[in-house]
């Protein structure tokens, strides 16, 4: 990537997920690092509010994923050693999460920003309906300019059903809200081609392609000592984030003004760029969908508009609705002969869609009692398959 394209990618990132790890948040387990947390909150507030004088035109939407509940809980409970028992870890998380939430709330409020605590579990992200609920809650918070502070709900999950580490959680959140950028703040400067502690020939990686298998080898490969819970999970998180088109930066959490400098286009740490753009990634995901919950049959006029002009599908062009689907499901769009011409995300459920067939969008509210969007499938959420 050229220097300019790196800078453009960083400057244009509007929705940013920032992840900080336990050792940074708790100062290696010594207790919540008030100064460091205050500093990230100050920078996030500038990003969220915009600051023309710093060259930050417009606002960014920022979501924080913070670890540290277990480490802080151990500190508060006076435990020097990390317990083995799940119930003790869960108890520590419950105690520590109070401190974390309180600290973020205080520091963000000092910057004039409202915050919200969101504790997620793997099941919240795996189940379709809960996924959509979590997504819509986070997007609503962003819309109200509230900064969500997320952690895994460690208190109610056991090892088998855990996301497990917050790098992965950060990537899942980036997928959930279709973020542009995931910033993983850590206690290292970024990625090296080999372990710099043991290999003097190790070189710093400034830019890479998220998902490139060579990166996994550099990070040590599965099971190696440096990779375990360290750089490898970050590389894998970058690959996951790239699935929805988000690029990842791995940077040192104590680097001065790291978040602000990144947002003005300065490359700090390692940038792992997503190979596919957000909209392309979403379209690919629809094409790869194996199970479609239903289909819309459209008339010849609508089919021509979708094919030729790249327009959205409006209810007026629909003649028939097949299957049972909910808002947000991937459905097929068929031409009058029944052949699939594309796929898209439904804005209305199958029950609603049946009522909307052949109706102009101006009548949606009268028919349903509310109106979510004027389109049945928005062109951004639509991909032509033939
Ligand atoms: N969720 C855990 C905590 O807050 C940390 C997981 C991680 O550090 O990756 O204590």
Report whether pLDDT(229) > 70: no
Chain mean pLDDT for the chain? 90
Question: Counting atoms of ligand 1 from 1, which one is nearest the CA of 152?
Answer: 1
For a pLDDT cut of 70, what percent of the chain falls above it?
97
Question: Do the first three CATH levels of 3-278 and 289-384 match, i.e. the same topology?
Answer: no
Confidence at 372, pLDDT banded by 50, 70, 90: confident
Answer for the pair 68, 22: CB distance below 8 angstroms, yes or no.
yes
From 20, 151, 234, give the residue whose CB has the most ligand 1 atoms within 8 Å, as the site to mutate: 151
* Residue (of 262, 241, 240, 265) closest to 252 by Cα position: 262
d(Cα 322, Cα 346) in Å, to the nearest integer?
12
For ligand 1, whether the C-beta of 375 sits within 6 Å is: no
**What separation in Å is there between the alpha carbon of 57 and the centre of ligand 1?**
33
How high is the pLDDT of residue 51? 87
Least confident of 47-56, 82-91, 213-222, 372-381: 213-222
- What is the arithmetic mean of pLDDT over 369-373? 88
- The sign of the torsion formed by the CA atoms of 82, 250, 273, 183 equals positive
Measured CA angle at 282 (ends 281, 283), to 5 deg: 90
For ligand 1, whether the C-beta of 155 sits within 6 Å is: no
Continuous segment of H or E residues that includes residue 354: helix 350-356
Report whether pLDDT(225) > 70: no
Assigned CATH topology for domain 3-278: Carbamate kinase (3.40.1160)
More confident residue, 380 or 17: 17
How high is the pLDDT of residue 200? 86
Question: Counting atoms of ligand 1 from 1, which one is nearest the CA of 151?
Answer: 1
Q: Which residues pair with 204 in a beta bridge?
A: 192
> What is the domain partition of the chain in residue ranges?
3-278, 289-384
- Under CATH, to which class is 289-384 assigned? mainly beta
More confident residue, 112 or 130: 112
* Residue (of 98, 114, 105) closest to 38 by Cα position: 105
For ligand 1, whether the C-beta of 115 sits within 6 Å is: no
**What separation in Å is there between the alpha carbon of 167 and the centre of ligand 1?**
9
* Residue (of 210, 282, 206, 199) closest to 239 by Cα position: 210
For ligand 1, whether the C-beta of 72 sits within 6 Å is: no
From 37, 95, 154, 236, give the residue whose CB has the most ligand 1 atoms within 8 Å, as the site to mutate: 154
d(Cα 54, Cα 33) in Å, to the nearest integer?
26
Indicate the DSSP class of residue 243.
T
For ligand 1, whether the C-beta of 69 sits within 6 Å is: yes
Report whether pLDDT(224) > 80: no
- What is the arithmetic mean of pLDDT over 196-210? 90
- What is the arithmetic mean of pLDDT over 158-179? 87
Which residue minimizes the CA distance to atom 5 of ligand 1? 67
For a pLDDT cut of 90, what percent of the chain falls above it?
68
For ligand 1, whether the C-beta of 176 sits within 6 Å is: no
- For residue 35, the tally of other CB atoms under 10 A from its CB is 9
Strands 294-298 and 247-252: unpaired
Answer for the pair 225, 288: CB distance below 8 angstroms, yes or no.
no
Could you tell me which residues come within 8 angstroms of residue 174 by beta carbon, excluding any fewer than 6 positions away?
Answer: 17, 181, 182, 240, 241, 244, 246
Report whether pLDDT(29) > 60: yes
Question: Counting atoms of ligand 1 from 1, which one is nearest the CA of 93?
Answer: 10
How high is the pLDDT of residue 214? 92
For ligand 1, whether the C-beta of 124 sits within 6 Å is: no
**What separation in Å is there between the alpha carbon of 70 and the centre of ligand 1?**
7
Question: Counting atoms of ligand 1 from 1, which one is nearest the CA of 100?
Answer: 4
**What separation in Å is there between the alpha carbon of 68 and the centre of ligand 1?**
6
pLDDT tens by residue, 123-163: 888 776 677 778 889 999 999 999 999 999 988 877 766 88
pLDDT tens by residue, 43-79: 999 999 988 888 888 899 999 999 999 999 999 999 9
pLDDT tens by residue, 260-288: 999 999 999 999 999 988 877 778 777 87
For ligand 1, whether the C-beta of 61 sits within 6 Å is: no
Indicate the DSSP class of residue 78.
T
Least confident of 123-137, 198-212, 346-360: 123-137
């Amino acid at each position: 990537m050229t220097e300019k394209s790196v800078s453009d990618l960083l400057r244009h990132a509007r929705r940013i997920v920032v992840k900080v790890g336990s050792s940074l948040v708790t100062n290696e387990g010594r207790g919540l690092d008030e100064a460091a947390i205050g500093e990230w909150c100050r920078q996030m507030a500038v990003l969220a509010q915009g600051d023309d004088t710093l060259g930050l035109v417009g606002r960014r939407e920022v979501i924080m994923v913070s670890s540290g509940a277990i480490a802080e809980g151990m500190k508060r409970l006076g435990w020097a050693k990390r317990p083995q028992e799940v119930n003790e870890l869960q108890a520590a998380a419950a105690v520590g999460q109070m401190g974390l939430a309180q600290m973020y709330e205080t520091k963000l409020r000092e910057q004039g920003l409202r915050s919200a605590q969101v504790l997620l579990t793997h099941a919240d992200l795996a189940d379709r309906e809960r996924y959509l609920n979590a997504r819509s809650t986070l997007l609503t918070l962003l819309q109200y300019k509230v900064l969500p502070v997320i952690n895994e709900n460690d208190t109610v999950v056991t090892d088998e059903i855990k996301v497990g580490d917050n790098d992965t959680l950060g990537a899942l959140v980036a997928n959930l809200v279709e973020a542009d950028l995931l910033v993983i703040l850590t206690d290292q400067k970024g990625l090296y081609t080999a372990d710099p502690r043991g290999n003097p020939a190790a070189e710093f990686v400034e830019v890479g392609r998220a998902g490139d298998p060579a990166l996994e080898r550099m990070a040590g490969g599965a099971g190696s000592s440096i990779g375990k819970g360290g750089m490898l999970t970050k590389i894998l998180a970058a690959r996951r984030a790239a699935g929805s088109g988000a690029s990842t930066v791995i940077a040192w959490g104590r680097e001065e003004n790291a978040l602000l400098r990144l947002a003005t286009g300065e490359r700090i740490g390692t940038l792992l760029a997503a190979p596919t753009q957000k909209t392309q990634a979403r379209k690919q995901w629809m094409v790869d969908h194996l199970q479609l919950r239903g289909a819309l049959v459209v008339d010849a006029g609508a089919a021509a508009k979708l094919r030729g002009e790249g327009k959205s599908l409006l209810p007026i062009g629909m003649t028939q609705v097949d299957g049972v689907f909910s808002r947000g499901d991937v459905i097929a769009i068929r031409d009058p002969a029944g052949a699939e011409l594309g796929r898209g995300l439904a804005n209305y459920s199958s029950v609603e869609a049946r009522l909307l067939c052949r109706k102009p969008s101006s009548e949606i509210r009268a028919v349903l009692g509310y109106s979510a969007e004027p389109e049945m499938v928005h062109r951004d959420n639509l991909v032509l398959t033939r």
